[in-house]
Structure formats: C-alpha cells, structure tokens
C-alpha cells in the first residue's frame, strides 16, 4: 500500500471524516506525508475501516451527533472539552445547526502538535465509537444479547455470550474485530474467498487466571445467527466493505 485515497463515502460520520482527512494530509511522526509512509498508511487504513458506517445522524439527529462530537473532544482532551461544548451550544442557540465541522477540527489542531496526529485521530475515533455502541443504520437486523440458546452455562455458551455482546456493540466488522481484540476472546479465520477475504471464522476464549485457551468453536456452531455472513448482514449495507486490514492485524496474516 503506497497511498490512501481520501474517503468520500457518505456513510462516514462527517466529524470523523474530517479528523481522518486532516490526519491523512498531515506529516507523520516519521516526518513523511502520512499517506505515503507505510506503517502510518496501514494505521490510516485501520482507522478508515473503523469509521465505516459511523454516520449515525439518521437516528439521533444533528444536535445529538454534534454533542457526541463535543463529548468526544472532552474525553480525549479533558482540559479543552468546555471549549468544544461552548462552540456546540453557541451554534445551537443561534440556529439549531451543528457547529461547522471545520471549527471543531480546528479546535483539535490547536491542542495537538504535527507529530502525533495519528495517535490523536485513533483516540478520537475509538472514543467516538465507544459512545456510539449499538447505533446502526435503519433496518439492520440486530443480534440481541441475552438470547443465547438454551442449556447449561457451559464453555460454549459462555463463549457465545461474549461473541454476541461484541457483535451487538459493534458498528461494523472492523469495530467488532477491535472489540474482540480488547476482550479475552481469540478469533481465527477459517475459510477464505477468491480475494483472500475471510468467509468463516472460529472463536476461543483465554482463561485470565492461567492463560489456558478454550476449545475453538466455529462461528455457526456457536449459534446460527453468529455465523460471519449473518453478522455481516447486520452491520453493513451494500456500500460497506469488509475489514481486510483489521483482520490482518487482529487475527494475523
């Protein structure tokens, strides 16, 4: 990968899109244009996959989304959050419009140096996703937690419960993989398509007390609705790609 296209996908939250664009156009910590620096281009690719399908205005409205942006700035830059809230409030008081995205991104620029933009963008995007768990586009079939199939709470059911929770919280496939990575779960690609895309996967769980790994269960053996193709249908519409870069990082080559 030598270059990253600036994304124009309309399903990306406009604030996150502006943060990413600023990062992609900036100079990275290796003193190269970030999109031409191999390690940074890969990180940018991860962030692009994470931001897919984050345009959540359909459900919460412009005002709620703008508050989520201000809240994200508050969480990432606690000493500057009041400024972000002030700008959001002033815009609403004036016209009930969201603040200009450029204004908030300019705020972020004031707080950061040119050398740590990628780390800042990662913090902003992961914080925004943390706030937006469970938000999906309309019509998505959601895998509800707490609907595990019957039987005793054995190893398989415990694993099913954890995978279901990650699937429920995720906005898209890359987000799901990130949640898996943050948890005590392991994910293994099991079948690949013509373009090396992952078609099926398996899961196991690591015992925190002794590091022992449970038996691996294939996605559809865990529960029919947790099969990877089914999960994909709950996360994405026709426009959202899968997450090949994130797969590579989370599950290995």
| Binding footprint of Zn ion on the chain (CB under 5 A) | 28, 30, 37, 40
Tell me which DSSP letter residue 134 carries: T
> Of 73, 99, 71, 74, which Cα lies nearest the Cα of 87?
99
| Percentages of the chain per state (helix, strand, coil), in multiples of 5 | 55, 10, 35
Q: Which is nearer to Zn ion, 30 or 181 (CB)?
A: 30
What's the closest the beta carbon of residue 121 comes to Zn ion, in angstroms? 13
What's the closest the beta carbon of residue 71 comes to Zn ion, in angstroms? 29
What's the closest the beta carbon of residue 90 comes to Zn ion, in angstroms? 36
CA angle 112/100/94 to nearest 5° reads 125
Element at 187 (helix H, strand E): strand 185-192
What's the closest the beta carbon of residue 36 comes to Zn ion, in angstroms? 9
What's the closest the beta carbon of residue 43 comes to Zn ion, in angstroms? 8
Q: Which is nearer to Zn ion, 86 or 114 (CB)?
A: 114
Q: How far is CA 123 from the centre of its chain?
A: 11
Residues paired with 170 in a beta bridge? none
Q: Which is nearer to Zn ion, 34 or 170 (CB)?
A: 34
Q: Which is nearer to Zn ion, 82 or 115 (CB)?
A: 115
Name the burial class of residue 62, with classes exposed (0-12), middle (13-18) and buried (19+) by CB atoms within 10 angstroms of its CB.
middle
Task: Please provide the distance, in angstroms rounded to a whole number, between the alpha carbons at the two ends of the chain.
Answer: 16
C-alpha distances (whole Å) from 106 to each of 100, 113, 150 are 10, 12, 52
Do residues 219 and 226 make contact, with C-beta atoms less than 8 angstroms apart? yes
Q: How many whole angstroms separate alpha carbon 228 and alpha carbon 189?
A: 10
Q: Which is nearer to Zn ion, 34 or 222 (CB)?
A: 34
What's the closest the beta carbon of residue 41 comes to Zn ion, in angstroms? 8
Q: How many whole angstroms separate alpha carbon 244 and alpha carbon 42?
A: 11
Q: Which is nearer to Zn ion, 13 or 24 (CB)?
A: 24
What's the closest the beta carbon of residue 37 comes to Zn ion, in angstroms? 3
Do residues 247 and 159 make contact, with C-beta atoms less than 8 angstroms apart? no
Q: Which is nearer to Zn ion, 185 or 245 (CB)?
A: 245
């Amino acid at each position: 990968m030598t270059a990253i296209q600036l994304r124009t996908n309309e399903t990306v939250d406009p604030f996150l899109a502006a943060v990413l664009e600023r990062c992609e156009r900036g100079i990275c910590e290796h003193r190269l244009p970030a999109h031409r620096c191999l390690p940074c281009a890969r990180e940018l690719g991860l962030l692009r996959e994470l931001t897919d399908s984050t345009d959540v205005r359909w459900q919460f409205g412009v005002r709620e989304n703008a508050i989520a942006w201000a809240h994200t700035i508050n969480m990432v830059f606690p000493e500057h959050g009041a400024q972000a809230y002030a700008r959001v409030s002033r815009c609403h008081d004036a016209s009930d419009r969201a603040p200009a995205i450029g204004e908030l991104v300019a705020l972020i620029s004031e707080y950061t140096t040119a050398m740590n933009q990628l780390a800042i963008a990662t913090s902003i995007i992961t914080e925004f996703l943390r706030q937006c768990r469970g938000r999906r586009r309309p019509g998505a079939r959601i895998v509800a937690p707490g609907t595990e199939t019957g039987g005793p709470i054995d190893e398989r059911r415990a694993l099913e419960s954890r995978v279901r929770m990650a699937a429920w919280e995720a906005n898209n496939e890359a987000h799901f993989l990130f949640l898996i990575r943050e948890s005590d779960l392991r994910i293994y690609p099991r079948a690949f398509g013509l373009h090396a895309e992952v078609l099926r996967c398996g899961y196991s769980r690591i015992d925190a007390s002794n590091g022992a790994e449970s038996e691996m269960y294939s996605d559809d053996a865990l529960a029919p609705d947790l099969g990877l193709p089914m999960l994909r249908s709950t996360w994405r519409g026709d426009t959202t790609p899968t997450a090949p870069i994130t797969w590579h990082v989370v599950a290995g080559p």
